[in-house]
Amino acid sequence: MHLILFILFAGICLAGAVNLLLQTHPINSALSLIVVMTSLAVLYLQLGAEFLAAAQVIVYAGAIMVLFTFVVMLLNAGREERTRGSRAAVVVGFPAVAVLLAVATTVVQHTPKLGTSTFGDTMSNQPGATNLEVLSGVLFTKLLLPFEVTSVLILVAILGSVALARFGHGEKGAGE
Amino acid sequence: MNADSIQFFQQEVPLSWYLLLSAVLFALGVVGFLIKRNLITVFMSIELMLNAVNLSFVTFAHQWHAVKGQIFVFFVMVVAAAEAAVGLAIIIAVFRARSTLAVDRIDLMKL
Amino acid sequence: MPGSLRRGKNSVTILQFFLWSLLKIIVVTVVMLMSVAYTVLLERKLVGRIQNRWGPSRVGPFGLLQPLVDGAKSFLKEDIIPTSVYRPLYLLAPIIALTCALVSIGVVPFGSPAVTGPGGFHIFEISDVNIGLLLILGITSMSVYGVALAGWSSNNKYSLLGSLRASAQLVSYELALGLSLVGVVLSSGTLNLREIVEHQATHGLLTWNLFGGLQFVAFFIYLTAAYAETNRSPFDLPEAESELVAGYHTEYSSMKFAMFFMAEYANMINVGCVATLIFLGGWTSPFGDLIPMPQNIVFRSLLPIFWFVLKVFSFLFLYVWVRGTLPRFRYDQLMNFGWRYLMPLAILNIVATSLWVAYK
Among A57, A69, A132, beta carbon nearest to C138: A57
How close B76 comes to chain A (CA, Å)?
10
Give contacts of C 142-171 with A, CB under 8 A. 142, 144-145, 148-149, 152, 160, 164, 167, 171
**Cβ within 8 Å, pair B89-A160:** yes
Contact with chain B for residue A39, Cβ under 8 A: no
**Cβ within 8 Å, pair C167-A66:** yes
Contact with chain A for residue B67, Cβ under 8 A: yes
pLDDT digits (tens, 9 = 90+) for C303-348: 888 889 999 999 999 989 998 888 888 888 888 998 999 999 999 9
Chain mean pLDDT for chain C? 83
Q: Which residue of A has its CA nearest to B34?
A: A21
Chain mean pLDDT for chain A? 84
Among C1, C142, C191, beta carbon nearest to A62: C142
Greater confidence, A115 or A134?
A134
Q: Show Cβ contacts of residue C25 under 8 Å, excluding neighbours closer than 6 positions.
A: C106, C126
The least confident of A4-8, A35-39, C114-118, C207-211 is: C114-118
**Rounded CA separation C169/C328 (Å):** 14
pLDDT of residue C71: 83
pLDDT above 50 for C7: no
User: What number is the ipTM of this complex?
Assistant: 0.89
**Cβ within 8 Å, pair A80-B102:** yes
Residue of A3, A24, A58, A135 to mutate for C, most C C-beta atoms under 10 A: A58
How close A128 comes to chain B (CA, Å)?
15
pLDDT of residue A175: 43
For chain B, domain boundaries: 3-98
pLDDT of residue A173: 45
pLDDT of residue C11: 53
pLDDT of residue A172: 46
Whether residue A6 lies inside any domain: the answer is no
pLDDT above 60 for A43: yes
Chain mean pLDDT for chain B? 87
Cross-strand bridge partners of residue B38? B102
Contact with chain B for residue A174, Cβ under 8 A: no
Q: What is the pTM of this model?
A: 0.89
Q: How confident is the model at residue C244 (pLDDT cuts 50, 70, 90)?
A: low
Whether residue A67 lies inside any domain: the answer is no
pLDDT digits (tens, 9 = 90+) for B42-64: 999 999 999 999 999 999 998 88
Q: How confident is the model at residue C258 (pLDDT cuts 50, 70, 90)?
A: confident
pLDDT of residue C6: 44
- What is the number of domains present in chain A? 1
Q: CA–CA distance from A147 to each of A140, B74, B78, C247 (Å)?
A: 8, 10, 10, 41
pLDDT above 60 for B30: yes
Query: To the nearest whole percent, how much of chain B has pLDDT over 70?
Result: 90
pLDDT digits (tens, 9 = 90+) for C142-158: 999 998 999 888 888 88
Query: To the nearest whole percent, how much of chain A has pLDDT over 70?
Result: 85
pLDDT digits (tens, 9 = 90+) for C54-109: 888 888 787 788 888 888 888 888 888 888 888 889 999 999 999 999 998 888 88
Residue of B6, B10, B17, B90 to mutate for A, most A C-beta atoms under 10 A: B17
The least confident of A4-8, A30-34, C300-304, C323-327 is: C300-304
Cis peptide upstream of residue C234 (ω within 30 degrees of 0): yes
Return left, alpha or beta for C90; rule: phi > 0 is left, psi -120 to 50 is alpha, else beta: alpha
Query: To the nearest whole percent, how much of chain C has pLDDT over 90?
Result: 25
**Cβ within 8 Å, pair B18-A47:** yes
Q: How confident is the model at residue A103 (pLDDT cuts 50, 70, 90)?
A: confident
For chain C, domain boundaries: 71-359
What single string gives the DSSP state of each residue in chain A? -HHHHHHHHHHHHHHHHHHHHH-SSHHHHHHHHHHHHHHHHHHHHHTT-HHHHHHIIIIIIIIIHHHHHHHHHHH---SPPPPPP-HHHHHHHHHHHHHHHHHHHHHHHT-SS--B--TT--SSSSTT--HHHHHHHHHTTTTHHHHHHHHHHHHHHHHHHHHHHS--TTS--S--
Q: How confident is the model at residue C5 (pLDDT cuts 50, 70, 90)?
A: very low
**Rounded CA separation B7/B4 (Å):** 5
pLDDT above 70 for B107: yes
Greater confidence, A99 or A87?
A99
Tell me the chain C residues in contact with residue A61 when contact means C-beta distances shorter than 8 Å.
138, 141-142
The least confident of A53-57, C68-72, C231-235 is: C231-235
**Cβ within 8 Å, pair A131-C130:** yes
Query: To the nearest whole percent, how much of chain C has pLDDT over 70?
Result: 89
Mean pLDDT score, A110-139: 74
**Cβ within 8 Å, pair B16-A108:** yes
| CATH number for the domain whose boundaries are B3-98 | 1.10.287.3510
pLDDT of residue C240: 66
Contact with chain B for residue A15, Cβ under 8 A: no
Strongest mean pLDDT among A27-41, B88-102, C108-122, C142-156 = A27-41
Q: Which residue of A has its CA nearest to C135?
A: A54
How close A29 comes to chain B (CA, Å)?
7
How close C180 comes to chain A (CA, Å)?
16
**Cβ within 8 Å, pair A1-C134:** no
